[in-house]
Amino acid sequence: MHPLLYIFPCSALFLEGLLLWRLSKHGLASRYPHLTVFVLFRFLGDLILFPINRYKPDWFAVAYWRLEAIALSLQFLVIWDFFCGVFPRRSALHDIAWKMLLIVELGILPAVLLLGWNQASSVHYLYLHLSPVVEQYLCLAQAILLLTPATVAWYYHVPLGRNLRGLCLGFGIYVLVRSVNVASLQVFRGFVSYWRLLTPTTFIGMIAVWLWAFWQYAPSPEQAGLGDDQYSQWKTEWQHLWSRTMALLRRGI
């Protein structure tokens, strides 16, 4: 491997270690446990992959995709940390946002995963333990799931603190870039060498944004209280939408 390419794993390890230190120093690890587990797993995974890539490069692909399959699963839990931070259980908008998230999970998420699996099988592109096409669609599904609570928060003017803003911004850009990476490689084959650098660069950028966001504990400001009449109206509308959605799903099944 070219010596310049060692910048990516070394930078990732340094930033991940620094981020874990800041999370533990201010008690943020207990407030964002799934995010902490994800960063810790990536840190340990990079520690394992670095010597494998250096001394046993023929083992790298198998080790990478096995670790990547676990990391992709942990990314769903990062979204859950964001949701719980924006809409705590005592929040009036928790029920509305939760039902909207369930609608997305029951409707869009299965379709996205099925599309990715069918496309991967049709082109015989199953690569070891995880298809890059499936990875692409998983990241797209995660981007949609992250966008759902962020849209509800924006629509109802829910203020976000520095921690949650950085979490959403860094993770959102990262999964969006990964979702278009495989498609871009298929369309612009001449840029393969450049696109391969895009994902690690974006990951380092995400960790850097998280390091800025979680450098200190900056919770969301107190959410503005909703009037009882306004909240009752919103809740009634969402209950009606939820009933119609579940009825359509039962009819489809």
Residue that is written with structure tokens 């797209």 in the block: 140
pTM tops 0.95, yes or no: no
Q: What is the pLDDT of residue 123?
A: 44
Among the listed residues 159, 148, 179, 168, the one whose alpha carbon sits nearest the alpha carbon of residue 209: 168
Among the listed residues 208, 219, 126, 203, the one whose alpha carbon sits nearest the alpha carbon of residue 165: 219
Single-letter code of the amino acid located at 171: F
Share of the chain above pLDDT 90, in %: 24
Q: What is the pLDDT of residue 128?
A: 43
- Tell me how far apart the alpha carbons of residues 40 and 228 are, in angstroms, rounded to a whole number: 43
Q: What is the pLDDT of residue 62?
A: 83
More confident residue, 18 or 54: 18
- Tell me how far apart the alpha carbons of residues 91 and 189 are, in angstroms, rounded to a whole number: 48
Q: What is the pLDDT of residue 206?
A: 95
Q: How confident is the model at residue 145 (pLDDT cuts 50, 70, 90)?
A: confident
Single-letter code of the amino acid located at 228: D
Can you say whether the dihedral through the CA atoms of 233, 234, 235, 240 is positive or negative?
positive
